[in-house]
A and B are shown apart, each in its own frame.
Chain A
Amino acid sequence: MYLKAILLFPLIGILLLSLIRSYRISSFLNTLFSFLSFASSLLLLVKRESAGLFFVVDELNIVFILLTNFVGFTTALFSQHYIAHEIKTGHISAVSLRFYHGMYQSLLFGMNLALCSNNIGLMWVAIEIATLSTVLMVGIYRTAEALEASWKYFILGGVGIALALFGTFLFYISARPAIGEGLSAMAWTNLLSHASNLDTSLLNIAFVFILLGYGTKAGLFPLHAWLPDAHAEGPTPISAVLSGLLLNVALYAILRFKMLLAANPHALQAGPLLMSMGLASVLFAALMLYKRRDIKRLFAYSSIEHMGIIAFAFGIGGALANFAGLLHMSMHSLTKSAIFFAIGYISQIKRTQKIADLSGLTASHPVLGWGLVFGVLAIAGLPPMGVFMSEFLVLSSAFAKAPLLAALLACGLIIAFGALLLKLVQVAFGEPKGTSTVVPSLYLPMLSHFLLILIAGIYIPPHVVEWFKHTSLLLK
């Protein structure tokens, strides 16, 4: 029942919000619907149904469902004030507003559907819905840059979608002899229980298609080209959910398929593939961070880096690395979206996203400035924040299994750390530059995320650790 609720609320939201003209009502309803989905996802913790042919809620996806709905809700809160200013300045028209809120709910719907679907075809449809919603939202400002970003995202996303679908078909064909025709051969739980009987050679090639297809969505190098543009040119709430949530959903899909391969003793080892793509993403993004001139682009590259770390962690495999990967996924979502909340207001106040034009934010806007400092230190991996903990765990488990690669990863992390610190000093300290506009802002979403990552870095309650441990054992 709660499972249906997390799908139903966004669905009603899409219909209702695309009809309402008034900004006040629609932005309030947007937050309300996101809150209702979050509340139902909390209730899923208490009581969940057993897996059916279409839906499943297990230890693995409940982590993601909770995280997605929580960040979805806080972003809706942030977006309420952010959008108010965009309407005032005329960046978003009344028609676009209805469209924006409708698409926001459709993104949440797509992600929730993708996370809880047990059917690999349904999962594909859901990820497609989520992607198309973001494609349309990235282009909402209608500037030349926004349209280019949106077009690039559509074309590359389309390629990813096609490859992933082909991979999905191949999974079905490989399962058909063992499970039989029809829906049951597309149910993930059935695929897992028959994993050792699946056609191995087809399974291998299917996974390669899935990895390339959903890897494009997750922004792994070398398939990341759409990601920086989409982050920089769209509205900031969308950058927050793109980085914080949609990339995770794509990685989640890869993980589900990886579990199928891991359960088949003769199939390809998915680990090394994920590790090499992850490591390449980390190194590439870390180097690219230095030359960024646009602050949203900077953090988009940082998202590529962190997706790389996560992919690397799951690639190593084993209980500790998987635990670290899951933890890093959650910490990155919370931290990165909070950073985007701060940047959203900053770019509205300063009317620019150029790093060179931003300076002395801690002096002129203490809460935002110090918030950004805290966020960047957290994402760069300084203790005592949660990201430090998860990165430390990734590194230590990597040193145990592949010391050479771990050393490379450590290099990447240090390079990225340097770049982020360099940019941070420029933006946060020194003499304040340029004019400032007064914008309506709400710091609660940002601060609540920061509080969570601080708590997670210092003390994770034992039953949460138990829960994550159990999940990481499932992942193998």
Chain B
Amino acid sequence: MNHNLYFDITHMLAGSMLLVSFVLLYQDRMFSLLNVYTVHALVLAAAAAWQGFVQQAPHLYATAVIALVFKAIAIPLTLRWLIVKLAIHREIEKVVGSGISVIAGFFLTALSITVMMKASGGTDPMTREDLSFALAVVLIGLLMMAGRRNAISQVVGFMSMENGLILAAVGAKGMPLVVEISVAFSVLVALIVIGIFLFRIRERFDVVDIRGLEKSGGER
């Protein structure tokens, strides 16, 4: 295979991840959101494995396996179980509508491409484009967290943001600690927060919807 093909496949995988991020933005059912998230994680696993092959860095295969087993299988299944078990509303309540969030997503993508292309002018083109896609995925994850009311969809937003970060990490050649960081992220965030946290919220409220929490407001 020649160098161009390497480049194109990397490009395609990063681009597909961004595309799936957009698809995440306009979901309005909980289960379909989880399905799309699974695809997001699968693309990440493919991108990590591909980078492992291109850079001949075996540790990136470990990252790919974590993404595959943990993010694409375990987490969506757990969340599904939580939704059924806790009888959570299956519709996603949005603060801003799908149309507006997708348009905002376009702007964020344009922003990250402009910024990263300019800033990383000194590095090789592969890193440069990978970084701009990754930043766009991160920013769209942020947008999702800000624009959703349900706790679970916020967690999905958080995880898609995290996938963007891992994409940036696997794209940065020779980056150490990638595996450790993805383990730290997955284990800490997913297990502790989703497991204990949501369960606790359910103990007190009927809906796992942070709006229920906002009502209490707290003493200012």
> Which residues does chain B contribute within 8 Å of A173, judged by CB atoms?
120, 123, 127, 131, 172
Cβ-defined contact, A201 with B120, below 8 A: yes
* One of A129, A142, A159, A182 near B174 (C-beta < 8 A): A182
User: Is the C-beta of A162 less than 8 angstroms from some C-beta in chain B?
Assistant: yes
Binds A, one of B25-33, B37-45, B68-76, B210-218: B210-218
Which B residue's beta carbon lies closest to that of A158? B158
Nearest Cβ on chain B to A172's Cβ, whole angstroms: 6
- Cβ of B8 < 8 Å from any Cβ of A? no
Measured in the bound complex, the distance between the Cα atoms of B168 and A10 in whole Å is: 33
A205 to chain B minimum Cβ distance, whole angstroms, is: 4
0/1 interface trace, chain A 127-146, chain B, CB 8 Å (1 if under)? 01100100110010010110
Binary interface encoding of chain B residues 129-166 relative to chain A, with 1 for a CB under 8 A from any of its CBs, else 0: 00100110010011001000001001000100110010
CB pair A199 B122 closer than 8 Å: yes
Question: Footprint of A on B, CB under 8 Å?
Answer: 115-116, 118-123, 127, 131, 134-135, 138, 141-142, 145, 151, 154, 158, 161-162, 165, 168-169, 172-177, 180-181, 184, 188-189, 192-193, 196-197, 200-201, 203-205, 210, 213-220
CB <8 Å contact, A148 and B120: no
Q: How many chain-A residues does the 8 Å CB contact rule pick out?
A: 53
Within 8 A of B (CB), among A339-364: 353-354
Q: How far is the CA of A170 from the CA of B116 in the complex (A)?
A: 10
CB of A380 within 8 Å of the partner chain: no
Q: Pull 15 A–B residue pairs with CB atoms less than 8 Å apart, ordered by A.
A: A119-B177, A124-B181, A132-B188, A136-B192, A142-B200, A142-B203, A145-B216, A148-B218, A154-B193, A166-B135, A173-B127, A182-B174, A182-B176, A294-B220, A353-B219
Mostly, the A contact residues are helix
Residues facing B in A160-186 (CB within 8 A) are: 162, 165-166, 169-170, 172-173, 176-177, 180-183, 185-186
Does the CB pair B119–A151 fall under 8 Å? no
Report if A147 contacts B (CB, 8 A): yes
CB-CB under 8 A from B174, the residues of chain A are 176, 180-182, 185
For the complex of A and B, the 8 pairs showing the least CB-CB separation, nearest first, are: A181-B174, A144-B216, A148-B213, A121-B177, A205-B119, A294-B219, A145-B218, A183-B176
0 or 1 for each of A77-107: is its CB under 8 Å from B? (1 = yes):
0000000000000000000000000000000
Q: How far is the CA of A433 from the CA of B120 in the complex (A)?
A: 63
| A293 and B119 contact, CB distance less than 8 A | no
Are A202 and B120 in contact (CB-based, < 8 A)?
Answer: yes
Residue pair B184, A128 in contact (C-beta under 8 Å)? yes
Instruction: Indicate if A233 sits at the interface (CB-CB under 8 A).
Output: yes
Which of B119, B165, B217 contacts A165 (CB under 8 A)?
A: B165
